[in-house]
Amino acid sequence: MTAAGSTKAMALVKRTLVLSPVAAPRTPGSPPRCCSWPLTAWPCKDWSWARSPTASCLPQPHSCSTSATAVCLLCPQDSLSSSLKTCYKYLNQTSRSFAVVIQALDGEMRHAVCVFYLVLRALDTVEDDMTISVEKKIPMLRNFHTFLYEPEWRFMESKEKHRQVLEDFPTVWGRYVKKLEDFAKPENIDVAVQCLNELITNTLHHIPDVITYLSRLRNQSVFNFCAIPQDSLSSSLKTCYKYLNQTSRSFAVVIQALDGEMRHAVCVFYLVLRALDTVEDDMTISVEKKIPMLRNFHTFLYEPEWRFMESKEKHRQVLEDFPTISLEFRNLAEKYQTVIADICQKMGCGMAEFVDKHVTSKQDWDKYCYYVAGLVGIGLSRLFSASEFEDPLVGEDTECANSMGLFLQKTNIIRDYLEDQQEGREFWPREVWGRYVKKLEDFAKPENIDVAVQCLNELITNTLHHIPDVITYLSRLRNQSVFNFCAIPQVMAIATLAACYNNQQVFKGVVKIRKGQAVTLMMDATNMPAVKAIIQQYIEEIYHRIPNSDPSSSKTKQVISTIRTQSLPNCQLISRSHYSPIYLSFVMLLAALSWQYLSTLSQVTEDYMQTGEH
């Protein structure tokens, strides 16, 4: 598209945004139009302060996949026509970076801008196609707008395939050389740089207008759409995000929602721990080789060429291409490197300790969960504080951070009893289950179902003790993207525990929360009152299912009583049966994302409900 065409296109985009009902608030301090929230529930009254895309009180845009076949993830899929789904598919195929920010827009404006982009892309393709004769091209360009009203019109003769746009500035470069390609000749390098500087100087004149335009925006998703840089990632960092999406779709969503440089630090942190975990899980690696690898893994971060090519695990690419990951680790600020290397060393030593060791006591259970999950919580907390998005206390209180990890890990272990048994793994502490049966696998026998449920309830009661620390931790968070990142897995976990409590199905099959329930939790858990209300809702469900005959019943009631004291007495969660433009999502799109997002909404919820990746 030419410079003039781009200018006209942006003018139309501005008109589209202004016409949108969510482009500005109704009155100062009120929510945007189309917002279903009452005025008293609107979290921010100072719109002049809330212009920053990192303002934590503002509603965040939801994310959408940028895979070639993706559509808007948080729009109910049945609400999109097949033709609109196809439009989103074409949007993702033709421009992943634009697809990300367009799909982050609110409400019907998202569809309008999607269609607007595709119409201009089609027009631009005609202009760029040099195989179309001038005699045919000129009338096509002039009459293209009329084709919008011709249902059967299509053009089958184009040979163009998203050719990169080339700008033509003859009035500038013509004063330096005769032909534009002459700038590539060594003898013309000086005048080439002079021309380059002149064009950059010309471009800089637009910045005051850009600042003025951005300062007028009120809707968060519109601000993000207009303010996002389009190509800011190195090739190695893009590869890291590709691996992130390949190894954990659920984590990819919340990690890519984080703000600023913290996003890259957490992405690299995750991949380093994923590589370490891949070594631990690979049963084809001998114990003699595995233990020293685990203990020394942190040193590989500083060895540019180290890689491991012998793994048979599903996600072995993070080991085979570890030089790319370690390169981005070394590109991080030193404050992030220090945290990641320290956690990697401690986790590797802990994993090595449990290679040949069973979880015997409840202390062993806590220790194992600390190594594989608590350290993750501690490391993330230190990264949040190092980024200055959160207060130093968040990173300093290792007890609360550890509880965040333990609560998630214990929930996974409890839920995955049958799967772990079928694969020969044992993570339930013998100190507990040994009082009920001789072998852990005996719980799967029908004659032992009553004692199995009693043991299950005892472990769930043990896990509930971490909730007060979880509430304390979350209440300290100030950055919206960090809050979403931390809160969503926690509310999914409490919902999972409620589903498992006193439930024989844990020993017979898969226990999971409903997909619709999972989506509601993801979209509701965006502020502390809502999270407290969710926790209160599910602990009350557990409380009303406590059998009087259960050996742990008194302890369960006691811990629930403690949790109640931390919940707001008037906290009520209003579940939503439809999607509103104002819902806070767990993804903020603040950088050019050329990596892949989720392909369908069911994949997101399935990961949260079935995998052990919190």
Q: 200-206 long-range contacts, Cβ below 8 Å, gap at least 24?
A: 202/172
Pull the structure tokens for residue 457.
């309830």
The 3-state DSSP class for residue 288 equals helix
Classify 162 in phi/psi space as left (phi over 0), alpha (psi -120 to 50) or beta.
left
CA 9 – CA 24 distance, rounded (Å) = 21
As a dihedral over the C-alpha atoms of residue 297, residue 300, residue 306, residue 308, rounded to 10 degrees, the angle is: 10
**Residues contacting residue 176 through CB under 8 Å, at least 6 positions apart:** 183, 188, 191, 192, 194, 195
Q: How many CB atoms lie within 10 A of CB 178?
A: 8
CA 512 – CA 519 distance, rounded (Å) = 13
CA 270 – CA 276 distance, rounded (Å) = 10
What are the residues facing 25 on neighbouring strands?
A: 32
**Are 455 and 475 spatial neighbours (Cβ–Cβ below 8 Å)?**
no
DSSP 418-471: HHHHHTT---S-HHHHTTT-SSGGGGGSGGGHHHHHHHHHHHHHHHHTTHHHHH
What are the residues facing 32 on neighbouring strands?
A: 25
**Are 432 and 414 spatial neighbours (Cβ–Cβ below 8 Å)?**
no
Three-state SS sequence of 578-590: CCCCCCCCCCCCC
**Residues contacting residue 61 through CB under 8 Å, at least 6 positions apart:** 104, 105, 106, 220, 221, 224, 585, 587, 588, 589
Catalytically annotated residues: 368, 415, 425, 485
User: Helices 480-500 and 449-464 meet at what angle, rounded to 10?
Assistant: 160
- List the one residue out of 279, 283, 330, 270 whose CA is nearest residue 303: 330
